[in-house]
Amino acid sequence: MRGATATQAQATMPAYGRTESGTRAGHFPHMYMSHRSKNESQHDNACDRHESGIDLRESGHCMHMSQATYNKRIERYFPNQGRAPLNNRRHESTIRNIIQPRFTRDDPLKSGNHTSNVAVIVSSSRYWFNYRHVTNALSIYQLLKRGGISDDNIILMLADDIPCNMRNPFRGKIFSRGANGGMGDDLMEGVEIDYSGTDVTVDAFLRVLLGRNLPGEGETNGLHRRSLPKMDENTNVMVLMTGHGGDNFFKFQDGEELMSNDIASVFSQMYAMKRYKEILFISDTCQAFTMADEITVPNVYSVGSSLKDQNSYASHSDPQVGQSVIDRYSKVIKDFMDDAVTMTSTSKTDTMSSSLDSATVAVMERFNLHDALVRIPMTHGELGANSKVGHTDSLCSRKMNQVPLSDFFAAPLEERERQMKQRQHAASASLWMNESNFTSSEQEFVVEQECVLPEATMNDSPVKEEIRDGMSVFDLKFIAAAIGLVLFMNTVSRKW
């Protein structure tokens, strides 16, 4: 088989399968047993030398391992890290070689001297088939929450209410890795949306960055109660845009466009108004990096999921949802961060937590911007043919490989310490409460995400749908009405 390709060689090999008892079953079991002791045992021994620092699985020597066998081996070498399977087994060697060694140093990356963090996240696409753009935005949103950034400092703009879309079989929920019958990781947990529907416009986006409220915004009794975060010369700002775009433009709901010169202009105004210390600008769309073409002000890190004349591709679809559930660029950032936390945490960590998580912050402090947003997606992202991540730090006083991810994805140290003290006080107070009363009061807040239909009654009071196995009572009424209409028309046609 000297002249055969790898694919042809695999096609000519016998198809073996491993049973649950650990024995092999295949077309030629006697042939398999005759050479197992020499060949496969050598493969297994090679895999056992995994801790030597050589990634044998990626080179093809250990690809015969099942996911269960792989997880057992990871648990053997990293006893505290094998508590959950990795989202991508290829991440393990990269995490071990890049992230874990940095835990042996006291100050692996020096943080900037900022005093606050603000994030503006925009998903500008409407309609059900753009499901993935909402999960892109919510994936980054959840990382920010785990980094300790509060909702007061996050502006979340979602153009379409995908979780409550009538086509969503799991009403009020949205998943990036698969619905799993509604039991998957729900990204809507703990989410606070600031702008939705027709409120998501270019004008609203620019006003948020410039701190210009509409009349009544931010006031307790005003028409619009959303308040804009405070920003000054010591604020690090992260701006994420995900949706559809092209060469030097980004679409808002198919009705208007944000141009690259608009981005350059608003950043210039923010610089003149002293509304930032550093900006991280991320665009996840087709020809994304062209949105940074005209930026000229200092200390703006720009990253785009694709270059000019390149596309940004969807990752995978879920058969239960019926749509692509996330884009490739956002997926690899989320998956790699979750896997890094799984491997480096000394205790069991909930990677879907919507509040401050110390293990996540520890990884962010040891993970620089270039590795997290450029190098890892290019290495593990499978972004698509000829798609590359664009980035620049030419206008910045620090290079991207010197900036910890925590400078933009986590709250400052003082804020995190304040949140930890609040947790400790809450835990101490709970010890004095009656256990049964505490449990019952806690259950009152654990409510399944419900979809609200505004203006559903004459008195303008919102009506909450009753959700049963992904179908609301309104769906049932519509089906019954449709059946009745068909029967009526059939009866009328017979008479005539």
Cross-strand bridge partners of residue 51: none
Q: Is 316 a catalytic residue?
A: no
Please list, in sequence order, all residues whose beta carbon lies within 8 angstroms of the beta carbon of residue 118, skipping any fewer than 6 positions away.
153, 154, 155, 229, 231, 235, 236, 237, 238
CA dist 321 and 284 (Å) reads: 22
Among 114, 133, 244, 370, the one annotated catalytic: 244
CA dist 193 and 199 (Å) reads: 11
What does DSSP assign to residue 106? S
Answer whether 284's CB lies under 8 Å from 240's CB: yes
Q: What are phi and psi of 324, to 5 degrees?
A: -65, 130
> How many CA atoms within 13 Å lie on the side-chain side of 37?
3
In the chain, the amino acid numbered 376 is I
Quickly tell me which residue has 């077309």 as its tokens: 27
CA dist 358 and 335 (Å) reads: 18
Answer whether 405's CB lies under 8 Å from 372's CB: yes
Please give the full DSSP string across 436-451, using - where no structure is assigned: HHHHHHHHHH------
Answer whether 442's CB lies under 8 Å from 456's CB: no
Question: Token pair for residue 162?
Answer: 């995908």
CA dist 412 and 149 (Å) reads: 9
Please give the full DSSP string across 233-249, using - where no structure is assigned: TTEEEEEEEES-EETTE
Answer whether 305's CB lies under 8 Å from 329's CB: yes
The closest of 394, 157, 154, 224 to 295, measured between CA atoms, is 394
Total number of residues shown for the chain: 496
- Dihedral sign for Cα atoms in the order 266, 272, 276, 277: positive
Q: Is 286 a catalytic residue?
A: yes
Question: Token pair for residue 88?
Answer: 């991508």
Among 286, 370, 380, 396, the one annotated catalytic: 286
Catalytic residues: 244, 286
